[in-house]
Amino acid sequence: MHAPSEYQNIHPQNANVSSMQKPFMRIPYTGPLPPPIVVPRNANTPTGAIAALTRFLSAPAPPLLPNTNGRTVLLTGAGVSVASGLADYRGTAGTYTLNKTYRPIYYNEFISNHEARKRYWARSFLGWTNLHRAKPNAAHWAVRDLGERGFIGEVITQNVDSFHPVAHPDLPTLELHGYLRSLLCIHCGNHLPRKDFQQSLSNLNPAWAAFLSEMLETGALDSEHPDERRKKGLKSNPDGDVDVPNAPYTTFRYPACPTCLANPPVLPDGSQSNVQVDADGAWSPRSTAGVLKPAVIMFGESIAAGVKVAAEEAIDKASRILVIGSSLATYSAWRLVKRAKERHMPIGVLNLGGVRGEESFYADVPADNDGSLGVRCSESADKILPTVVQNLEFLASAPDRVEMPARQDVHV
Protein backbone atom coordinates (compact mmCIF):
# COMPACT_ATOMS: atom_id res chain seq x y z
CA MET A 1 0.00 0.00 0.00
CA HIS A 2 1.62 3.22 -1.15
CA ALA A 3 0.60 6.86 -0.76
CA PRO A 4 0.51 9.09 -3.86
CA SER A 5 4.01 10.14 -4.91
CA GLU A 6 5.72 13.51 -5.48
CA TYR A 7 6.07 14.35 -1.81
CA GLN A 8 7.52 17.70 -0.82
CA ASN A 9 7.90 19.12 2.67
CA ILE A 10 5.37 21.66 3.92
CA HIS A 11 6.36 24.25 6.48
CA PRO A 12 3.14 25.75 7.88
CA GLN A 13 3.21 29.24 9.29
CA ASN A 14 3.33 29.64 13.03
CA ALA A 15 0.08 30.59 14.70
CA ASN A 16 -0.32 34.16 15.88
CA VAL A 17 0.79 33.83 19.50
CA SER A 18 -0.67 37.13 20.62
CA SER A 19 -4.15 36.18 19.42
CA MET A 20 -4.00 32.97 21.45
CA GLN A 21 -4.00 34.98 24.67
CA LYS A 22 -7.53 36.29 24.13
CA PRO A 23 -10.24 34.67 26.26
CA PHE A 24 -12.93 32.31 24.97
CA MET A 25 -10.69 30.71 22.39
CA ARG A 26 -10.16 27.01 21.91
CA ILE A 27 -6.66 26.79 23.36
CA PRO A 28 -5.01 23.49 24.35
CA TYR A 29 -3.56 23.23 27.86
CA THR A 30 -0.12 21.66 27.61
CA GLY A 31 0.80 21.51 31.28
CA PRO A 32 0.86 18.20 33.17
CA LEU A 33 -2.44 16.95 34.50
CA PRO A 34 -2.74 15.76 38.11
CA PRO A 35 -3.45 12.12 38.92
CA PRO A 36 -7.19 11.55 39.33
CA ILE A 37 -8.63 11.91 42.81
CA VAL A 38 -11.57 9.90 44.14
CA VAL A 39 -14.66 11.51 45.71
CA PRO A 40 -16.18 9.97 47.78
CA ARG A 41 -13.50 7.52 48.80
CA ASN A 42 -15.61 4.45 48.02
CA ALA A 43 -16.04 5.61 44.38
CA ASN A 44 -12.75 3.85 43.57
CA THR A 45 -14.51 0.80 42.13
CA PRO A 46 -17.14 0.56 39.38
CA THR A 47 -19.81 -0.33 41.94
CA GLY A 48 -18.83 2.56 44.20
CA ALA A 49 -18.70 4.98 41.28
CA ILE A 50 -22.17 3.91 40.12
CA ALA A 51 -23.62 4.42 43.59
CA ALA A 52 -21.99 7.86 43.99
CA LEU A 53 -23.15 9.02 40.57
CA THR A 54 -26.68 7.79 41.30
CA ARG A 55 -26.77 9.87 44.47
CA PHE A 56 -25.28 12.86 42.70
CA LEU A 57 -27.87 12.87 39.94
CA SER A 58 -30.83 12.20 42.24
CA ALA A 59 -29.92 14.72 44.96
CA PRO A 60 -32.20 17.75 45.41
CA ALA A 61 -31.12 21.19 44.25
CA PRO A 62 -28.81 22.92 46.74
CA PRO A 63 -30.66 25.48 48.90
CA LEU A 64 -28.25 28.23 47.80
CA LEU A 65 -29.47 27.79 44.21
CA PRO A 66 -33.23 28.38 44.49
CA ASN A 67 -33.84 29.73 40.97
CA THR A 68 -32.54 26.77 38.98
CA ASN A 69 -34.26 24.01 37.04
CA GLY A 70 -33.29 21.29 39.53
CA ARG A 71 -31.46 19.37 36.81
CA THR A 72 -27.88 18.56 35.92
CA VAL A 73 -26.04 20.10 32.99
CA LEU A 74 -23.58 17.78 31.27
CA LEU A 75 -20.23 18.87 29.86
CA THR A 76 -18.73 16.16 27.67
CA GLY A 77 -15.39 15.70 25.93
CA ALA A 78 -13.61 13.34 23.54
CA GLY A 79 -13.42 10.55 26.12
CA VAL A 80 -17.15 9.89 25.80
CA SER A 81 -16.71 8.93 22.13
CA VAL A 82 -13.74 6.57 22.52
CA ALA A 83 -16.11 3.60 22.80
CA SER A 84 -17.46 4.59 19.37
CA GLY A 85 -14.00 3.93 17.94
CA LEU A 86 -12.79 7.53 17.82
CA ALA A 87 -9.44 8.79 19.04
CA ASP A 88 -9.21 11.20 21.96
CA TYR A 89 -6.51 13.63 23.06
CA ARG A 90 -5.32 12.68 26.55
CA GLY A 91 -6.72 9.24 27.34
CA THR A 92 -4.53 6.20 27.85
CA ALA A 93 -4.33 5.77 24.06
CA GLY A 94 -4.85 9.44 23.27
CA THR A 95 -2.92 11.40 20.69
CA TYR A 96 -1.12 13.62 23.20
CA THR A 97 -0.32 10.58 25.35
CA LEU A 98 1.29 8.49 22.59
CA ASN A 99 2.47 11.20 20.21
CA LYS A 100 4.28 13.90 22.15
CA THR A 101 5.13 15.83 18.97
CA TYR A 102 1.55 16.09 17.72
CA ARG A 103 0.43 19.63 16.98
CA PRO A 104 -3.06 20.38 15.65
CA ILE A 105 -3.54 23.00 12.95
CA TYR A 106 -4.31 26.49 14.22
CA TYR A 107 -6.95 28.82 12.84
CA ASN A 108 -4.55 31.52 11.64
CA GLU A 109 -2.40 29.13 9.64
CA PHE A 110 -5.47 27.49 8.08
CA ILE A 111 -6.99 30.74 6.81
CA SER A 112 -3.68 32.24 5.64
CA ASN A 113 -1.71 29.30 4.23
CA HIS A 114 -2.77 27.44 1.10
CA GLU A 115 -0.24 24.64 1.70
CA ALA A 116 -1.48 24.16 5.26
CA ARG A 117 -5.02 23.81 3.94
CA LYS A 118 -3.89 21.20 1.40
CA ARG A 119 -2.33 19.19 4.21
CA TYR A 120 -5.39 19.56 6.45
CA TRP A 121 -7.90 18.55 3.79
CA ALA A 122 -5.83 15.60 2.57
CA ARG A 123 -5.64 14.16 6.08
CA SER A 124 -9.30 14.92 6.73
CA PHE A 125 -10.25 13.28 3.43
CA LEU A 126 -8.62 10.05 4.59
CA GLY A 127 -10.16 10.15 8.05
CA TRP A 128 -13.70 11.24 7.20
CA THR A 129 -15.06 7.86 6.07
CA ASN A 130 -14.56 6.12 9.41
CA LEU A 131 -15.70 9.18 11.33
CA HIS A 132 -18.85 9.31 9.21
CA ARG A 133 -19.51 5.60 9.78
CA ALA A 134 -19.05 5.78 13.56
CA LYS A 135 -22.15 5.73 15.77
CA PRO A 136 -23.09 6.85 19.28
CA ASN A 137 -22.20 4.38 22.01
CA ALA A 138 -23.81 3.23 25.27
CA ALA A 139 -22.81 6.43 27.06
CA HIS A 140 -24.69 8.61 24.54
CA TRP A 141 -27.79 6.45 24.82
CA ALA A 142 -27.57 6.62 28.61
CA VAL A 143 -27.46 10.42 28.37
CA ARG A 144 -30.63 10.21 26.28
CA ASP A 145 -32.29 8.11 28.98
CA LEU A 146 -31.21 10.49 31.74
CA GLY A 147 -32.67 13.38 29.77
CA GLU A 148 -35.97 11.58 29.17
CA ARG A 149 -36.25 10.86 32.90
CA GLY A 150 -35.66 14.49 33.84
CA PHE A 151 -32.23 14.19 35.47
CA ILE A 152 -30.37 16.12 32.76
CA GLY A 153 -31.61 19.41 31.39
CA GLU A 154 -28.98 20.21 28.77
CA VAL A 155 -25.73 18.95 27.27
CA ILE A 156 -22.71 21.08 26.42
CA THR A 157 -20.25 19.09 24.35
CA GLN A 158 -16.74 19.87 23.20
CA ASN A 159 -17.03 17.08 20.65
CA VAL A 160 -17.50 17.73 16.94
CA ASP A 161 -18.75 14.24 15.99
CA SER A 162 -22.51 15.07 16.29
CA PHE A 163 -23.17 11.94 18.38
CA HIS A 164 -25.11 13.83 21.05
CA PRO A 165 -27.71 15.44 18.77
CA VAL A 166 -28.07 12.12 16.93
CA ALA A 167 -28.58 10.10 20.13
CA HIS A 168 -30.92 12.52 21.88
CA PRO A 169 -32.43 15.07 19.49
CA ASP A 170 -35.03 16.10 22.09
CA LEU A 171 -32.44 16.87 24.77
CA PRO A 172 -30.87 20.28 24.04
CA THR A 173 -27.21 20.03 23.00
CA LEU A 174 -24.86 22.99 22.66
CA GLU A 175 -21.89 22.09 20.44
CA LEU A 176 -19.27 24.32 22.04
CA HIS A 177 -16.62 23.71 19.40
CA GLY A 178 -18.89 23.30 16.40
CA TYR A 179 -19.27 20.18 14.26
CA LEU A 180 -17.68 18.33 11.36
CA ARG A 181 -20.92 17.49 9.56
CA SER A 182 -20.70 20.66 7.45
CA LEU A 183 -18.32 23.33 6.21
CA LEU A 184 -18.41 27.09 6.51
CA CYS A 185 -17.07 29.65 4.04
CA ILE A 186 -14.88 32.15 5.88
CA HIS A 187 -15.80 34.85 3.35
CA CYS A 188 -19.55 34.57 2.67
CA GLY A 189 -20.72 32.39 5.58
CA ASN A 190 -22.24 29.75 3.29
CA HIS A 191 -22.67 26.25 4.73
CA LEU A 192 -21.97 23.10 2.74
CA PRO A 193 -22.67 19.48 3.80
CA ARG A 194 -19.47 17.56 4.44
CA LYS A 195 -20.65 14.53 2.47
CA ASP A 196 -20.94 16.74 -0.66
CA PHE A 197 -17.53 18.23 0.02
CA GLN A 198 -16.04 14.75 0.44
CA GLN A 199 -17.29 13.80 -3.01
CA SER A 200 -15.77 16.97 -4.48
CA LEU A 201 -12.43 16.11 -2.87
CA SER A 202 -12.62 12.63 -4.35
CA ASN A 203 -13.33 14.01 -7.82
CA LEU A 204 -10.45 16.49 -7.64
CA ASN A 205 -7.95 13.96 -6.29
CA PRO A 206 -8.39 10.61 -8.09
CA ALA A 207 -5.03 9.23 -6.93
CA TRP A 208 -5.89 10.03 -3.30
CA ALA A 209 -9.36 8.54 -3.79
CA ALA A 210 -7.81 5.31 -5.08
CA PHE A 211 -5.44 5.28 -2.10
CA LEU A 212 -8.37 5.74 0.29
CA SER A 213 -10.30 2.91 -1.38
CA GLU A 214 -7.29 0.63 -1.01
CA MET A 215 -6.94 1.46 2.68
CA LEU A 216 -10.64 0.81 3.27
CA GLU A 217 -10.50 -2.50 1.39
CA THR A 218 -7.47 -3.70 3.37
CA GLY A 219 -8.92 -2.59 6.70
CA ALA A 220 -6.11 -0.13 7.37
CA LEU A 221 -8.62 2.40 8.73
CA ASP A 222 -10.73 -0.04 10.73
CA SER A 223 -9.13 0.94 14.04
CA GLU A 224 -8.83 4.41 15.54
CA HIS A 225 -6.29 3.13 18.06
CA PRO A 226 -2.98 4.92 17.34
CA ASP A 227 -0.83 1.84 17.96
CA GLU A 228 -2.84 -0.26 15.50
CA ARG A 229 -2.71 2.40 12.80
CA ARG A 230 1.00 3.01 13.38
CA LYS A 231 1.64 -0.66 12.60
CA LYS A 232 -0.02 0.01 9.23
CA GLY A 233 2.03 3.13 8.55
CA LEU A 234 -0.64 5.61 9.67
CA LYS A 235 -1.01 8.10 12.50
CA SER A 236 -4.56 8.74 13.71
CA ASN A 237 -5.60 11.85 15.61
CA PRO A 238 -8.91 13.17 16.90
CA ASP A 239 -11.58 14.74 14.69
CA GLY A 240 -11.01 12.45 11.70
CA ASP A 241 -7.37 13.34 11.08
CA VAL A 242 -5.18 10.62 9.49
CA ASP A 243 -1.51 11.32 8.85
CA VAL A 244 0.38 9.25 6.29
CA PRO A 245 4.14 9.76 6.75
CA ASN A 246 5.88 11.04 3.61
CA ALA A 247 2.59 11.58 1.78
CA PRO A 248 2.55 14.22 -1.01
CA TYR A 249 0.16 16.61 0.69
CA THR A 250 1.21 19.44 -1.60
CA THR A 251 -0.48 17.65 -4.54
CA PHE A 252 -3.87 17.68 -2.87
CA ARG A 253 -6.60 19.98 -4.23
CA TYR A 254 -9.81 21.31 -2.69
CA PRO A 255 -12.82 23.13 -4.17
CA ALA A 256 -13.82 26.77 -3.83
CA CYS A 257 -16.98 27.85 -2.04
CA PRO A 258 -19.71 27.50 -4.70
CA THR A 259 -21.54 30.59 -3.45
CA CYS A 260 -18.44 32.78 -3.67
CA LEU A 261 -17.62 31.32 -7.06
CA ALA A 262 -21.05 32.27 -8.40
CA ASN A 263 -21.19 35.65 -6.65
CA PRO A 264 -17.79 36.86 -5.37
CA PRO A 265 -18.42 38.80 -2.15
CA VAL A 266 -17.25 42.30 -1.25
CA LEU A 267 -14.30 42.12 1.15
CA PRO A 268 -14.25 43.93 4.52
CA ASP A 269 -12.08 46.70 3.03
CA GLY A 270 -14.78 47.40 0.44
CA SER A 271 -12.96 45.87 -2.52
CA GLN A 272 -14.45 43.22 -4.79
CA SER A 273 -13.11 39.74 -4.18
CA ASN A 274 -11.76 37.46 -6.85
CA VAL A 275 -12.47 33.72 -6.91
CA GLN A 276 -10.62 31.58 -9.43
CA VAL A 277 -10.52 27.83 -10.00
CA ASP A 278 -8.53 25.55 -12.26
CA ALA A 279 -10.02 23.55 -15.12
CA ASP A 280 -11.32 20.91 -12.68
CA GLY A 281 -12.84 23.37 -10.21
CA ALA A 282 -10.07 23.40 -7.59
CA TRP A 283 -9.53 26.62 -5.63
CA SER A 284 -6.69 28.75 -7.03
CA PRO A 285 -4.22 30.62 -4.79
CA ARG A 286 -4.81 33.65 -7.02
CA SER A 287 -8.22 33.95 -5.34
CA THR A 288 -9.00 36.42 -2.56
CA ALA A 289 -12.17 34.64 -1.34
CA GLY A 290 -13.98 31.32 -1.52
CA VAL A 291 -12.12 29.46 1.26
CA LEU A 292 -14.10 26.78 3.07
CA LYS A 293 -13.25 25.58 6.58
CA PRO A 294 -14.79 22.88 8.74
CA ALA A 295 -17.64 24.23 10.86
CA VAL A 296 -15.58 23.63 13.99
CA ILE A 297 -13.80 26.02 16.31
CA MET A 298 -10.17 25.39 15.47
CA PHE A 299 -7.43 25.80 18.03
CA GLY A 300 -6.71 29.50 18.36
CA GLU A 301 -10.15 30.47 17.03
CA SER A 302 -12.63 32.46 19.09
CA ILE A 303 -15.91 30.88 20.11
CA ALA A 304 -18.89 32.86 18.82
CA ALA A 305 -20.34 35.28 21.37
CA GLY A 306 -23.78 33.66 21.10
CA VAL A 307 -22.37 30.21 21.89
CA LYS A 308 -20.40 31.59 24.83
CA VAL A 309 -23.51 33.24 26.28
CA ALA A 310 -25.62 30.11 25.73
CA ALA A 311 -23.06 27.98 27.56
CA GLU A 312 -23.00 30.36 30.50
CA GLU A 313 -26.79 30.42 30.64
CA ALA A 314 -26.89 26.61 30.64
CA ILE A 315 -24.59 26.62 33.68
CA ASP A 316 -26.54 29.33 35.48
CA LYS A 317 -29.94 27.64 35.23
CA ALA A 318 -28.71 24.18 36.27
CA SER A 319 -28.46 22.86 39.82
CA ARG A 320 -25.28 20.84 39.32
CA ILE A 321 -22.75 19.98 36.61
CA LEU A 322 -21.39 16.60 35.55
CA VAL A 323 -18.27 16.43 33.38
CA ILE A 324 -17.92 13.25 31.32
CA GLY A 325 -14.88 12.24 29.27
CA SER A 326 -12.99 15.53 29.48
CA SER A 327 -9.74 16.57 31.11
CA LEU A 328 -10.90 20.22 30.81
CA ALA A 329 -7.63 20.97 29.06
CA THR A 330 -9.15 23.72 26.93
CA TYR A 331 -9.98 27.02 28.57
CA SER A 332 -13.39 27.22 26.89
CA ALA A 333 -14.50 24.13 28.84
CA TRP A 334 -12.55 24.65 32.06
CA ARG A 335 -14.00 28.13 32.59
CA LEU A 336 -17.53 26.67 32.61
CA VAL A 337 -16.69 24.38 35.53
CA LYS A 338 -14.97 27.30 37.23
CA ARG A 339 -18.19 29.27 36.80
CA ALA A 340 -20.18 26.40 38.32
CA LYS A 341 -17.81 26.29 41.28
CA GLU A 342 -18.16 30.03 41.83
CA ARG A 343 -21.94 29.53 41.91
CA HIS A 344 -21.50 26.82 44.58
CA MET A 345 -22.90 24.11 42.32
CA PRO A 346 -22.07 20.48 43.16
CA ILE A 347 -19.54 19.19 40.62
CA GLY A 348 -19.25 15.68 39.28
CA VAL A 349 -16.48 14.32 37.05
CA LEU A 350 -16.49 10.95 35.29
CA ASN A 351 -13.22 10.77 33.39
CA LEU A 352 -10.39 8.30 32.97
CA GLY A 353 -7.22 10.10 34.07
CA GLY A 354 -6.50 13.49 35.58
CA VAL A 355 -8.51 16.67 35.10
CA ARG A 356 -7.15 20.20 35.03
CA GLY A 357 -7.60 21.89 38.42
CA GLU A 358 -9.73 19.12 39.87
CA GLU A 359 -8.36 19.50 43.41
CA SER A 360 -9.99 22.91 43.72
CA PHE A 361 -13.39 21.53 42.72
CA TYR A 362 -13.58 19.35 45.84
CA ALA A 363 -11.55 21.31 48.38
CA ASP A 364 -14.63 22.23 50.43
CA VAL A 365 -16.63 19.03 49.98
CA PRO A 366 -17.20 17.49 53.45
CA ALA A 367 -15.51 14.21 54.29
CA ASP A 368 -18.83 12.44 54.91
CA ASN A 369 -20.11 13.28 51.42
CA ASP A 370 -21.76 10.23 49.83
CA GLY A 371 -21.70 11.65 46.32
CA SER A 372 -24.65 14.02 46.70
CA LEU A 373 -22.39 17.06 47.11
CA GLY A 374 -19.76 16.04 44.59
CA VAL A 375 -18.35 13.00 42.85
CA ARG A 376 -15.08 12.24 41.09
CA CYS A 377 -14.41 8.83 39.59
CA SER A 378 -12.02 7.49 37.00
CA GLU A 379 -14.12 5.02 35.01
CA SER A 380 -15.35 4.53 31.44
CA ALA A 381 -18.66 6.28 30.84
CA ASP A 382 -20.00 3.62 28.47
CA LYS A 383 -19.57 0.97 31.17
CA ILE A 384 -20.87 3.02 34.11
CA LEU A 385 -23.71 5.25 32.90
CA PRO A 386 -26.14 2.53 31.73
CA THR A 387 -26.18 1.02 35.22
CA VAL A 388 -26.61 4.49 36.75
CA VAL A 389 -29.75 4.81 34.62
CA GLN A 390 -31.00 1.45 35.91
CA ASN A 391 -30.38 2.50 39.51
CA LEU A 392 -32.25 5.77 39.03
CA GLU A 393 -35.17 3.89 37.47
CA PHE A 394 -35.21 1.58 40.50
CA LEU A 395 -35.27 4.53 42.89
CA ALA A 396 -38.10 6.14 40.93
CA SER A 397 -40.15 2.93 41.19
CA ALA A 398 -39.38 2.47 44.90
CA PRO A 399 -38.86 6.00 46.31
CA ASP A 400 -38.82 4.80 49.94
CA ARG A 401 -35.70 2.73 49.34
CA VAL A 402 -32.53 4.49 50.48
CA GLU A 403 -30.06 2.02 49.03
CA MET A 404 -29.69 0.71 45.51
CA PRO A 405 -29.61 -3.04 44.88
CA ALA A 406 -26.15 -4.49 44.46
CA ARG A 407 -25.27 -4.94 40.81
CA GLN A 408 -23.35 -7.97 39.63
CA ASP A 409 -23.35 -7.16 35.91
CA VAL A 410 -20.79 -4.37 35.68
CA HIS A 411 -17.97 -5.43 33.37
CA VAL A 412 -14.76 -3.44 33.03
For residue 280, give the nearest of 389, 193, 202, 220 by alpha carbon.
202
C-alpha dist (Å) from residue 33 to 37, 96, 159: 12, 12, 20
The rounded distance, in Å, linking the Cα atoms of 87 and 221 is 12
How many CB atoms are located within 10 Å of the residue 10 CB?
A: 13
Residue among 140, 164, 177, 187 flagged as catalytic: 177
According to DSSP, residue 18 is labeled: G
| DSSP of 205-236 | -HHHHHHHHHHHHHTTTS---HHHHHHTT-EE
Q: Is 2 a catalytic residue?
A: no
Nearest to residue 206, comparing CAs of 312, 311, 120, 282? Answer: 282
| CA separation for the pair 238, 327 (Å, rounded) | 15
Closest CA to 291 of 255, 265, 263: 255
Taking the CA atoms of residue 136, residue 97, residue 383 and residue 219 in that order, the dihedral angle to the nearest 10 degrees is: 50
Beta strand pairing status for 72-76 and 347-350? Answer: unpaired
DSSP structure class, residue 39? B
Catalytic residue positions, numbered: 177
